[in-house]
Amino acid sequence: MNATGTLSRRLRSAAMLSIALAVTLIFVFSSLFEAYNGRRQALDEARSVSAVLARNLQGALAFGDRSSASGTIASLAAVPAVEHAALFDQDGQVFAEYRRGAAGGEAPHAAHALQLPAEVPSESLDWQRIVVATPVQVDAQVLGTLVIEKDLLRLWTALGTRLLLAAAVAGVALLLGTRMAERVHGEIVEPVRELVSFMDQVARGDGYQLRAQEKGPQEIRRLYERFNELLAQIGLREAALSRHRAELETTVETRTRDPRGQRGRRGGRAGPSRSSWPT
């Protein structure tokens, strides 16, 4: 039974490893895709918001209306991920600023230092924040630069939630796959184990007249069928050998039963004795 046990362990290990590897690869690739796609979408959103806001700030910056610029830039409160925004004039001085959760106009961090004024849009991207700088211009004349900082914490929080759900689904898939693998494992290993037990029974008792009951998948049933045919052939040969052995024993017994009688019969068939000759 050691060989069957080895087959059982190998089949179970192969099934478990295959399912676990497939689930792990799917989870890893989906996580990487979600991270990449989430950052790309966040960057596209920051670009779009910055472009729209820069157009709305053209008039306020052109006429030096700080109050209008502050009101316009404060509309970023409707975008939860934007933590900080600053509008710089041509001299690089802050013209208007928005800081989420700021108390008394103060915040724990300042605007990121970018090359100002910017004639073309520029951006900075890492795993914590996105900073987009968009020039504010009228008729190709750069009046200032709008810098928007978007925090990625919300993105990673949402991504973590989705990944937890994906991990739960992957765990359920792994459990179901394991159950299915165990069922297939039983359909393959149990018939093989029973066939091995039947072979041991035949070997111990010379029961060549016995036949194994076919079970399992088609390939295993084919193995049962061939083994039964082999038993039938061995049984026929064993019966022929038994008959030949019995005939040989009968012949030997007949020839060795009465050797003296056989010699007497051979003597009775000899010619007449000398006493019977005429004088």
SS3 142: strand
pLDDT (tens digit, 9 = 90+) per residue, 99-112? 887 544 444 444 45
Mean per-residue pLDDT of the chain: 78
Q: What is the mean pLDDT of residues 172-184?
A: 79
Alpha-carbon distance 118 to 200, whole Å? 87
In this structure, what DSSP letter does residue 195 have?
H
Which pLDDT does position 166 carry in this prediction? 81
Higher pLDDT, 233 or 106: 233
Which pLDDT does position 176 carry in this prediction? 83
Asked whether residue 95 carries a pLDDT value surpassing 70, the answer given is: yes
Tokens of 106: 């103060």
Query: CB under 8 Å to 12, separation ≥6 — which residues?
Result: 181, 182, 185
User: Residue 143: enclosing H or E segment and its boundaries?
Assistant: strand 141-151
Calculate the CA 109 to chain-centre distance.
45
Which pLDDT does position 181 carry in this prediction? 74
Alpha-carbon distance 211 to 238, whole Å? 16
Q: Please tell me which of 68-82, 206-220, 243-257 the model is most confident about, judged by mean pLDDT.
A: 68-82
Higher pLDDT, 68 or 211: 68
Question: Residue 19 in contact with residue 177, Cβ under 8 Å?
Answer: yes
Higher pLDDT, 75 or 22: 75
Alpha-carbon distance 133 to 189, whole Å? 66
Question: Residue 154 in contact with residue 80, Cβ under 8 Å?
Answer: yes
Tokens of 157: 């929080």
Strand partners, 125: 130
Q: Per-residue confidence at 116, pLDDT binned at 50, 70, 90? A: low
User: Residue 89: enclosing H or E segment and its boundaries?
Assistant: strand 82-89
CA–CA distances in Å: residue 140 to residues 58, 64, 89, 137, 143: 12, 18, 15, 6, 9
